[in-house]
Structure 1
Amino acid sequence: MKRSSAAWALAGVVAGFAGIAVDYAVTEGANQASAIEAVAVFVRDHAPADLVNWARENHGKAITIPAIVVLLALFFGAVGRLARRRWWLGVLGFAVISAVGGAAVLAGNGATVAYLLPVALGFAVMTVAMALLGERLTRLQAVDDDDVFGEAWRGHRRDFLVVVGAVLGVAAVSTLVGRYLGRDEKAVEAEQEQLRLPVTPPVVPDGVRVEVDGVQPWMTPADDFYLIDTVFSKPAILAKEWKLRIHGMVEREIELTYNDLVTRAGVEAWITLNCVSNEIGGDLIGNAWWSGALLAPIIAEAGPLPGADCIKQTSHDGWDCATPLDTITDGRQAMLAIAMNGEPLPIEHGYPVRTIVPGLYGYVSATKWVVDMEITRFDDVEAYWTQRGWGELGPVKMASKIEVPANDDEVAAGEVVVAGTAWHQHTGIEGVEVQLDGGPWTPAELARVPNTDTWVQWRVALDVEPGDHQVTVRATDQAGEVQTSVRADVLPDGATGWHSVEFTAS
């Protein structure tokens, strides 16, 4: 260890992450984003569009913070080695990384100069810890070569390791304190238990299921409902603190509290939501019983001015989208939802309030944790995903999926039941057909649906000979349009094409 640069690198890593841990503890107590989360959000918002779109399809959000942590470890190790040469180089290195974190924090939604306090405390911890560790290493290095492993050398090494342990203890305690202070989710859960919302529990309508094992449930439980968002830490917002501002090109500005919204609540509907990133045959789709307040009367109360054609919605975390104004006012059950499947919205699904607009993909409409709506024009808006190459209007495209049999299944020859789901929200599905091995199209039996805004289950029995087979499905909507066979990627406005599965009959 006497001349080891690895020991200095270790000192830099230990000191650096002690500062990060202190920043985390303070930000959790202050209910604001940590520096690492702020940097992750900054990377998300400023990365090239191609990279962001790749990340959307490849779980990029899940690897962003771990990647930042790895880069920080490498940087802190380099800072420690620089401090071996000049003490001020270590201070400068920690100052640089703190400045990056501070800049990212200030770039966040609603950030003020006060948000820099945790970063400053973290920087102070880094520099003090590095000074203490560096002093012990310097003493250790000053021992003559002839005395290495002697009593003085062992004593200095022990002092160094004790300080390493103390700094690690500070980091561990700070992390535990941060986890304890970050009790916002528990506060939200306690609040949810006390809520008495004017909503009814879901009752799945008769006849909506085809009763075929393997077909996904017609009502999607909240825990199984797909999740797509850009946040690195789910906002834990108390309903009593929530407000929605409606402004912009309006005759009068409106501000609603949660209680205001609850008094307006009165709409409940089965609505299927699906993500624009859902590939043919994909599972980024779900159907739930949503409860809330109709959005159209609220917008009408604000009085949109002539020329307005969209609503710029903004989430608590700063994410935004632009929703066509006419999809809110054309009679569909667009709502500010407060409940999902008869219960207050789960945190991850937007508690306390999210927007639901049937017939639109979520990236242009289904804003979770919504806190701001600006009535404006598309010409004046640059929304988060449309800046990255996605379509502006986002109407849902017709799709159908085979769920039984699954791809590569082996079934008994003879009568084989093929079943699945189809959807074209706010238009509705009129018919579904399946094709076996390129042969004629066979009409499927459709289950019932309560409205045109949900998916529909279907089934058909086919006579199948032994051997390998392929079955394909297509739908026809209530406007008479037949689902296109043309394969298209999800970018820029949703996938198209027929879904097929291969199976073996024996």
Structure 2
Amino acid sequence: MRRALWSCYAGVVCAAIGVSTGQVVAAVINPESGPVYAVGAMTVDATPARVKDFAVRTAGTYDKPLLLAGVVVLLAAVAALLGLAAAQRRWAGPAGMAALGAIGVAAALTRPSASLADAVPALVSAAVATAALLLMLRPPGAPPDASQRPRLLDRRAFVGGVALAVAGVAAAGATGTSRVAGRAAARSRDGVRLPRPTRPAPALPTGVEPGFVTSNADFYRVDTALTVPRVDVDRWTLTVRGMVDRPFELSFDELLREPMIEQYVTLNCVSNEVGGPYIGTAKWLGVSLAELLRRAGVQAGADQIVARSVDGMTIGTPTATVLDSGTTPGTQPALICVGMNDEPLPLDHGFPARMLTSGVYGYAGSCKWITEIELSTFGDFDAYWVRRGYAAQAPVKTSSRIDRPGPFARLAAGRVVVAGVAWAQGTGISAVEIQVDDDAWRPATLRPEPNLDTWVQWTYLWQAAPGSHTLRVRAVDRTGTVQTGERAQPFPNGATGWHSVAVTVT
């Protein structure tokens, strides 16, 4: 039993040494090529859309740390079994570590933006782990007799301590290198001076309440990036190519010299459940994407814009949606954004540049860390989420949410302020209605709406009587269409249904 435990322990420690070393190498080559991150990214790609929505809904912004923790736990379990097998058959250790290395290589090389160099961290991990395992495991033979047991304990303590120390140093080195990269990207961002907008956003109308604009710190983040891309603006370019007459490329400095538009727009994630948090409104600064496309000369038949991120993510957007954006009074043009709420884009939200298309969900029009725009067709190319079953074209659905009171709140009888937001991008909100229990729908009071592509705040004064109650909300857009009460999950093109909260009045 002691020998079996020692073998399992040796397998785990050697795998930790190998993976930590690989992460150090990846920090120099490409942080996304690290064995843990690469396998995690491959897992994300292979995860069914419904499971992904469940993870976002359940874990929120902790979904990625939990995924990486799961990869580490699974690796530790496999490494323990390899150590046990190697104690019986010495060849099993190198063979197993080589298999794990092959998985790491495959995971790294199948990333959209991978190069051959991305295979190096996994190869180094496998080689180091194999060497360490062969050194730590005693050659097969009879177990030590009683006189040798103290020596075995000393050897175990010594080798184990050294191994853990090496693993700790390697992990610290990887973390330190990543922090250096992060600090370099932060310094690059800090050096950006945003130009004054050619077309400033109109001031928010009187009557808009605090909270209308979502702060950068509170703005939701939903994406597949296990490591946030760290981009140096001096090396970044935006390329426009594909089915265009005049392909061109812009540096970041050249992009900043383009006419800048400032606008308030609400951004909504398709993963958002009815009443969910994955929606926010910000003041964005950027360049008209339609004008860039006109400069390139869009060819006939190019009905899809394929935006690519620096990490290889692809987002597909209808060309007509972008070219028509902002042409209807009250709607806002699609942008290549460089600013968010009066500062350069945060690293988590796409620095140095991102695409923003109002009226469609983020997965269909808002590519973060954008570096390429290719004009193509929906028949020739399926973007990342379309290949996973999401709708190719996904206009945002009319919806509404109760923000207060919160679910299961305990309230005093009397006048209660019920408040929330509603949105119908491209159309605007004409009315919001509240229902208490099964009573008739009552009109809420709308706050001013800056434009048709933002949410609108609303309030309702409720004379609350003692007892348990359910509050519901629905919106009506400016065409007179009432928000549907039929429940639908986020997959494949956005959730529907009326948001409701249960409260107790005493």
Tell me the residue number matched to 1:163.
159
Contact between 1:226 and 1:286, CA under 8 Å: does it hold in 2? yes
Alignment of 1:239-388 (within 5 A): 239-332=233-326, 333-388=333-388
Q: Deviations over 1:146-168 (max 9, x none)?
A: xx1x3x43234323321222222
Which residue number in structure 2 is paired with residue 214 of structure 1? none
Distance 1:53 1:403, change over 3 A: closer
Contact 1:198 1:265 in 2 (8 A): no
Instruction: Report how far residue 467 of structure 1 moved.
Output: 2.8
Correspondence for 1:185:
182
2:18 pairs with 1:19: yes
SS in 2 for 1:459: strand
Change (3 A) 1:85 1:221: same
Q: Deviations along 1:45-101, whole A, 9 cap, x unmatched?
A: 234454444444444544322222111111111111122123222111111111111
Q: Residue 90 of structure 1 is aligned with which of 87, 90, 93? A: 93
Aligned match for 2:117, one of 114, 117, 120: 114
2:441 counterpart residue number: 441
Q: Distance in 1 between matches of 2:401 and 2:203?
A: 21
Q: Return 268-277 or 162-171, whichever deviates more.
A: 162-171
**Residue matched to 1:500:** 500
Aligned counterparts of 2:276 and 2:122: Cα–Cα separation in 1: 42
Q: Percent of counterpart pairs with the same letter?
A: 37
Contact 2:17-2:167 at 8 Å conserved across structures:
yes
CA distance in 2, matches of 1:322, 1:298: 17
The answer to whether the Cα contact below 8 Å between 1:414 and 1:464 also exists between their aligned partners in 2 is yes
The one-letter code matched in structure 2 to 1:13 is: V
- How many Å apart are 1:322 and its aligned residue? 0.9
1:15 aligned partner, one-letter code: C
Distance in 1 of aligned mates of 2:57 and 2:300: 38
Q: Are the equivalent residues in 1 in contact too, given 2:357–2:365 (CA < 8 A)?
A: yes
Change (3 A) 1:126 1:350: same
2:469 alignment partner in structure 1: 469
Q: Is the 8 A contact 1:423 1:454 kept in 2?
A: yes
Helix, strand or coil at the partner of 1:8: helix
In 1: Cα distance, 2:189 partner to 2:503 partner = 46
- Mark the runs of 5 or more structure 2 residues left unpaired by the alignment: 327-332
Which digits, 9 at most, give the CA deviation of each residue in 1:422-452, with x for residues without a partner? 1112211112122233323322221112211
Cα distance in 2 for partners of 1:430, 1:41 equals: 43
2: distance between equivalents of 1:357 and 1:43?
Answer: 29
Q: Deviations over 1:383-419 (max 9, x none)?
A: 2212222222110111111222222223333333222
- Name the SS of the counterpart of 2:262 in structure 1: strand
Contact 2:57/2:273, CA 8 A, preserved across alignment = no
Does residue 190 of structure 2 align to residue 196 of structure 1?
no
- Answer whether contact 1:55 1:61 (CA < 8 A) is retained: no
Cα distance change on mapping 1:500 and 1:124 into 2, 3 Å = closer
Task: Pick the aligned partner of 1:234 from 228, 237, 251.
Answer: 228
- Corresponding residue for residue 168 of structure 2: 172
Task: Return the letter of the residue paired with 2:127.
Answer: A
Query: Which residue does 2:410 correspond to in 1?
Result: 410
Alpha-carbon separation, structure 2, partners of 1:385 and 1:331: 23
Query: Which residue identity does 2:248 align to in structure 1?
Result: I
Partner of 1:70: 73
Identify the residue that residue 425 of structure 1 maps to in structure 2. Answer: 425
Q: Report the alpha carbon displacement of residue 199 of structure 1 after superposing the two structures with TM.
A: 4.4
Asked if the contact 2:35/2:108 (under 8 Å) is kept, the reply is: yes
- Match of 1:378, SS state, is coil
| Residue identity in the other structure for 1:478 | R
Q: Distance in 2 between matches of 1:340 and 1:416?
A: 35
Does the 8 A contact of 2:201 with 2:262 survive in 1?
no
Q: Which residue of structure 2 lines up, in the alignment, with residue 44 of structure 1?
A: 44
Equivalent residue runs for 1:124-139 within 5 Å: 124-135=127-138
Distance 2:468 2:143 in 1: 77
Relative distance call for 1:105 and 1:331 in structure 2 (3 A) is closer
Query: In structure 2, what residue type is equivalent to 1:439?
Result: D
2:49/2:491 contact within 8 Å kept: no
Q: So what's the TM-score if we normalise by structure 1?
A: 0.92
Q: CA deviation at 1:252?
A: 1.8
- CA distance in 2 between partners of 1:138 and 1:441 (Å): 79
Q: 1:210 to 1:165 in 2, by over 3 A?
A: closer
**Equivalent residues of 1:199, 1:339 under 8 A apart:** no
* Contact 2:355/2:368, CA 8 A, preserved across alignment: yes
Q: Residues 341, 438 of structure 1: CA spacing in aligned structure 2 closer, same or farther, 3 A cutoff? A: same
Distance (Å, rounded) in 2 between the aligned partners of 1:462 and 1:106: 59
How high is the TM-score relative to the length of structure 2? 0.92
Between 355-364 and 241-250, report the one with greater CA deviation: 241-250
Q: CA distance change for structure 1 residues 241 and 413 in 2, over 3 Å: closer, same or farther?
A: same
Amino acid at match of 1:154: P
